[in-house]
Structure 1
Amino acid sequence: MGKEIEKKYVLHTYPTDLDIVETQEIHQTYLATSESETLRVRKLVINGQEQFTMTHKAGKGLVREETEFDIGAGIYEQLIGKLEVTPLIKTRKKVNWNDYHFDLDIYHNTVQKNLITIEIEFAEEADVEHFQKPDWFGEDVTGESQYVNSVLWEHIQSAAK
């Protein structure tokens, strides 16, 4: 199991001069969630190519345990087909800025309209203390439940009923 050390911010404006190195379309569905764990599947479309993953996360806030592995399209379709749910859909832009790499997520079907977040992963917990966020980042929402993807997904399911 790997460790994920990540901070998340809400963007109120979308900077147009970013160094975008990759764009992904992400459809993610949660198979199980609890207060401290999630199990999700994702379909990622990168340059027209589809990839499928399954991810288990444990913990909350800044540091969580994460295990992710590839699955086949058939397994993904079987899991999604049995659930009859709506995936969380977002466009992820991988951004380089100074010596950092960010994931900028533009959400398409959340209850929160026009939601854009940016996440940064750190190699070590000590790196978090040295990070100076750029002015355009917005507020730090790390660990705030209304911005956790599994909660956003659950709100989509509730709205669909």
Structure 2
Amino acid sequence: MVEIERKFLVNSNAYKEASYKGTRIIQGFLNTHKERTVRIRLKGDVGYITVKGLSSSNGLSRFEWEKEINVKEAESLLKLCESGVIEKMRYEVRIKNHTFEVDEFFGDNEGLILAEIELDNENEAFEKPHWLGEEVTGNIKYYNSQLSKQPFSTWKH
């Protein structure tokens, strides 16, 4: 139940041509405490509840527990979430034996595009596609729980 992932900014729309799947996501947070977050997500026509723990000091890994719930439950729980619901389109891009999840944000986070890759261990090598930009792993301001509180549109660019 430990998730190991790296996160990057995206520097072009080339990932869209390479993607094999796109899914609309709406998510909110019941709790955004730094030691634990509780997320409710609608991903297409499936609901999820997810609990994430505190990140490791390098930001690469943290506890994650996720359970599928039905859409009606997810919709009801989204009404209880803290303000700042996140809306995004997730594109999945396969590069050799890894899958990048590229999130194009909407609403108050429009203009932000992030790519994540899950790994089996912190030192695992992977091919970086040309559209992958600066690494932001461990930078808290790019966590969805923080984007719900301080959206990209409020940042000084």
Distance of 1:102 and 1:69 partners within structure 2? 22
Aligned counterparts, 1:2-151, within 5 A = 2-15=1-14, 18-45=17-44, 50-60=45-55, 61-83=59-81, 85-111=83-109, 113-127=110-124, 130-151=125-146
Q: Post-superposition shift, 1:8? A: 0.4
Q: Confirm or deny: 8 A CA contact 1:92 1:106 kept in the other structure.
A: yes
Aligned mates of 2:62, 2:82 — CA distance in 1: 28
**How many equivalent pairs are there?**
149
Distance 1:83 1:28 in 2: 9
Residue of structure 2 equivalent to 1:155: 150
Displacement, 1:73? 2.3
Across the aligned residues of Structure 1 and Structure 2, the Cα RMSD in angstroms comes to 1.9
Hey, what's the Cα distance between the residues in 1 that align with 2:136 and 2:82?
Answer: 30
Unpaired segments of 5 or more residues in structure 2?
A: none
Which is further off, 102-111 or 22-31?
102-111
Residue segments in structure 1 that go unaligned for 5+ positions in a row: none
Q: By how many angstroms is 1:34 displaced? A: 1.2
Give me the whole-angstrom Cα distance separating, in 2, the residues matched to 1:16 and 1:83.
31
8 Å contact from structure 1 (residues 18, 95) kept in 2: no
Task: Tell whether the 8 Å contact from 1:56 to 1:66 is kept in structure 2 after alignment.
Answer: yes
Structure 1 segments of 4+ aligned residues over 4 angstroms from their partners: none
The two structures have a TM-score, normalised by structure 1, of 0.83
